[in-house]
Structure 1
Amino acid sequence: MEFEALSSSELSAYLRSVPAVYALLNEPGETGDLDIAEVGDGNLNFVYFASNARAPERSVVVKQAPPFLRLVGKSWPLTRHRMEREVAALQRFGALCPQHVPRVYHADSDLFLMVMQRLSSHRILRQALMDGIVYPKLAAHLSTYLAHTLFYGSDLFLAPDVKKHAVSDAVNTELCKITEDLVFTYPFEDHPSNVYSPAFPRAEIERLRQSPALRLAVADMKWSFMNDAETLLHGDLHTGSIMVNEDETYVIDPEFAFYGPMGFDIGAVLANLLLAYFSRDWHDREQDTALQLHADGVPYRDWLLEQVSAVWSGFEKTFLKLWRVHESRRKSHFIGDDPGGVCVEAYRARFMRRLLAQSLGFAGCKMIRRIVGMAKVADITSIADHSLRAAVEVRVLRCAERLLVERDAIDGIAQVLAIAREAQAGGRAS
């Protein structure tokens, strides 16, 4: 049977037939009409808001997964069963970090849809950052989410047999293949899916394809993505998958969830914050906010860079705390008996250095694919002046290249900020 997205009337009738969902949309005994609006602008799914016509605050989100990549169409087929993986990931992440994951109210495998909490008082983070809004709790919330989801899905917490079964249950072949192609492969070759802005210099394209150091670094990151089943990942954690207001932060859309390298999720967050940073000059000029300051008197561009540091530092602190508390209750998985804990602490320090390097490598790959690959970001594409956009894109690539090639030599997050500032100022390429 060929897939057809549900019409408004069909979805309304369906929701009326699910008592638990209909109860969310209506007061007891009420039988009001439902307003249905299709709002999806993503690459994969159809997304609807369903609301009580007389009480619009009573509302849910419905997602339906077509058997193809919506961005491309039926020529790129996908299994609709990916919705089941997304539901499982939301439930798992929600159990680990409920304050930052929306609730799932209902799932239907036959129709490949789910009904979930609508975050009606929240905004997509990407657009909020483009508008220059400060969220004082953002870094603390994101670092908490990352630390809890990455730690509790790993061998640092799970018993080895439990972890291995979890890995096998979370295989996500099709969507991993999309990442393998669109992040680690196509941007570095002459592939028809690549898209370049009108003024983007041809020399930069050639650099991506011909730099041995860069290509080897990307190959290392692709190998890690494909083989390092360290923990359950969100898999696509960009600023379009985060919803915020002044007090709350929620991570949505984990349809790419799979067991992979911890640094992939961390790197995705850092990459998107850096993309916002590099595009900020143009947005300030467009909004006439070149001197915009946040509450501490810091220019907004600098606040964005502060978030890169705060996310990593907050993650590292929380992750290590979870690790220490857990191992205080049992012997270390990796060191065994260690009177005084000297070897355990040395191992933790080495682990975190390696994780930072891994995160920076993935951040570099993510930044590059957003400049030359198929799926771009509004931070950059909204720059109307082609020459200004190209200048921003080149700065992004300069920073990304250094994060990739120099990742093992970078000795802390402060050096990452220095690299970003140098690239922003038009500094050297590697």
Structure 2
Amino acid sequence: MEFEALSSAELSTYLRGVPSLYSLLNEPDELDITEVGDGNLNYVYFATNTRAPDRSVVVKQAPPFLRLVGKTWPLTRHRMEREVAALRRFGALCPAHVPRVYHADSELFLVVMQRLSSHRILRQGLMDGVVYPRLAGHLSTYLAHTLFYGSDLYLASDVKKQAVSAAVNTELCRITEDLVFTWPFEDHPSNVYSPAFARAEIERLWQSPALRVEVGEMKWSFMNDAETLLHGDLHTGSIMVNEDETYVIDPEFAFYGPMGFDIGAVLANLLLAWFSRAWHDRHAEPSGDAPSYGDWLLAQAAAIWNGFASEFATLWREHESRRGSHFIGGDRGGACAEAFRARFIERLFEQSLGFAGCKMIRRIVGMAKVADITSIADNALRATVEVRALRCAEQLLLRRRQLRSIEDVVALARDIASTRPALA
């Protein structure tokens, strides 16, 4: 039977027919159903009690295809089951930063969740220049808890291996393998380029052996390093915020992979936001000694990594202290464990920078862009921003072993933004 998205009447009847939802929505006679999905994969609805507008939920339903492309790109609907499992797992670890799941239906492949009505998508807020004072602390906590508690550093070996086998997400991992690590580095028909973007910049990507080797290493890591349960698509469109709260949504790409992939995705999106903002800040009216919004964006990137590294190490130490043993074996003085911990986090930083570089490149030359950059109406200016972001991404890949701190990354971004690349 061919798939058809639920009509408003059908969805209203369905929701009122689930006793727990009927009670949650304050026993509605009818529901106002609004389709709000602007993502690549699923249909998304707001369902609101017309008599009690404060009673509202979000409904997501998975069609058997990639919504961005249509029926020519089929996908299994079982991906919704994996998203629900990830939401529940992450919600147990970080209840303050993951929306609650109220109901899931494995026959209709839909989930009903908490509606974050007083929040907005982070990317929209960043484009509007909104400061979120608790953002870095919340995201560093989310990353530290989800990445640590899904790993062998915390889980028993047999439990971890069983969890890996249960979280296989073949189809959506393949999408990432293609869209992030493969197609942007070849003359693929899915790639999309802005009008003033220089062909030479694109060809330089394809023809650089050193860069392609680094990208190949990141792709291999993505495909083989089952380190922890990842969100899998942690960009600024998958985060909802207000001044006091931060929620991570849409873990449909969740799978067991390399820790640095989620961290790199966050850093990549903040850097793209910063490059799109840097020109504006330099041409804005002077404001004395007050920092610019671009300064705040870079400060968030630094605070997220530094906060994550500190909290992750603390969770690790506390767990080993409770257990009375170290991951690397007996070490009464703890010096060996600390040395291993330092090297682990150093390697994780290198990995995160490599993934950040790949994610930035795909957003410049691949099929799925970011509005931070596509909203720049002047084609020449947009191309200037894109080339700068692209060159930063290249350096993150090529120099990921030499960049020793997030402050080095900030300095690199500032240096690249200070130059005006040739676009001819």
TM-score by length of 2: 0.97
Specify every segment of 5 or more residues in structure 1 that has no aligned partner in the other structure, as ranges.
none
Q: Aligned partner of 1:24: which letter? A: L
Give unpaired runs (5+ residues) of structure 2. Answer: none
In the alignment, is the contact (CA less than 8 A) between 2:387 and 2:421 conserved in 1?
Answer: no
Letter in 2 for 1:381: T
2:82 pairs with one of 71, 82, 85:
85
Query: Would you say the 8 A contact 2:30–2:50 is kept in 1?
Result: yes
Identity %: 78
Tell me which residue corresponds to 1:355: 348
* Structure 1 residue 390 displacement after superposition: 0.1
AA aligned opposite 2:339 = A
Residue in 1 that maps onto 2:198: 201
Distance in 1, matches of 2:373 and 2:205, equals 19
| CA-to-aligned-CA distance 1:251-277 (integer Å, 9 cap, x gap) | 000000000000000000000000100
Q: Distance in 1 between matches of 2:309 and 2:60?
A: 34
| Cα displacement string for residues 280-301 of structure 1 (whole angstroms, at most 9, x for unaligned residues) | 145559xx955579xx931101
Equivalent in the alignment of 1:241:
238
Q: Is the 8 A contact 2:326 2:337 kept in 1?
A: no
The partner residue of 2:362 within 327, 348, 369 is 369
TM superposition shift of 1:337? 1.1
Taking the aligned partners of 2:372 and 2:207, their CA distance within structure 1 comes to 27
1:318 maps to 2:311: yes
Is residue 144–residue 318 contact of structure 1 (8 Å, CA) maintained in 2? Answer: yes
Deviation per CA, 1:155-195, whole angstroms, max 9, x where unpaired? Answer: 00000000000000000000000000000000000000000
* Residue in structure 1 matched with residue 11 of structure 2 by the alignment: 11
2:397 pairs with 377, 397, 404, which one? 404
Q: Using the alignment, how far apart are the partners of 2:315 and 2:115 within structure 1?
A: 30
Query: In the alignment, does 2:167 pair up with 1:173?
Result: no
Q: What is the CA–CA distance in structure 2 between the aligned matches of 1:278 and 1:81, rounded to whole Å?
A: 37
Q: Is the 8 A contact 1:242 1:249 kept in 2?
A: yes
RMSD: 1.6
1:34-90 deviation per Cα after TM superposition (whole angstroms, max 9, x unaligned): 100000000000000000112211100000000000000011100001000000000
Q: Relative to structure 1, is the Cα distance of residues 276 and 320 closer, same or farther in structure 2, using a 3 angstrom cutoff?
A: same
Secondary structure of the residue aligned to 2:11 is helix
Distance 2:287 2:159 in 1: 50
- For residues 22 and 379 of structure 1, the distance between their equivalents in structure 2, rounded to whole angstroms, comes to 39
Give the drift of 1:338.
Answer: 1.0
Q: Which residue of 1 aligns with 2:25?
A: 25
Amino acid at match of 1:334: F
Residue 256 (structure 1) aligned with residue 250 (structure 2): no
Asked whether the 8 Å contact 2:28–2:50 carries over to 1, the reply is: no
In the superposition, relative to structure 1, how do residues 59 and 282 fare at CA in structure 2: closer, same or farther (>3 Å)? farther
1:95 to 2:88 alignment = no
Deviation at 1:25, TM superposition (A): 1.1
Runs of 4+ in 1 over 6 A off after TM superposition: none
Q: Choose the corresponding residue for 1:218, options 199, 215, 220.
A: 215
Deviations 1:183-215 (A, max 9, x none): 000000000000000000011011110011110
Whichever residue aligns with residue 165 of structure 1, its letter is Q
**Which residue in the other structure is 1:36 paired with?**
33
Residues 10 and 345 of structure 1, relative CA distance in 2, 3 Å threshold: same
* SS across alignment from 1:5: coil
Instruction: Encode CA deviations 1:308-330: one digit per residue, 9 max, x unaligned.
Output: 10000000010000000000122
CA–CA separation in structure 2 for the residues paired with 1:73 and 1:291? 48
Task: Give the TM-score normalised by the residue count of structure 1.
Answer: 0.96
Query: How many pairs were matched up?
Result: 422
Deviations 1:106-162 (A, max 9, x none): 000110101000000000000000000000100000000000000000000000000
Letter in 1 for 2:10: E
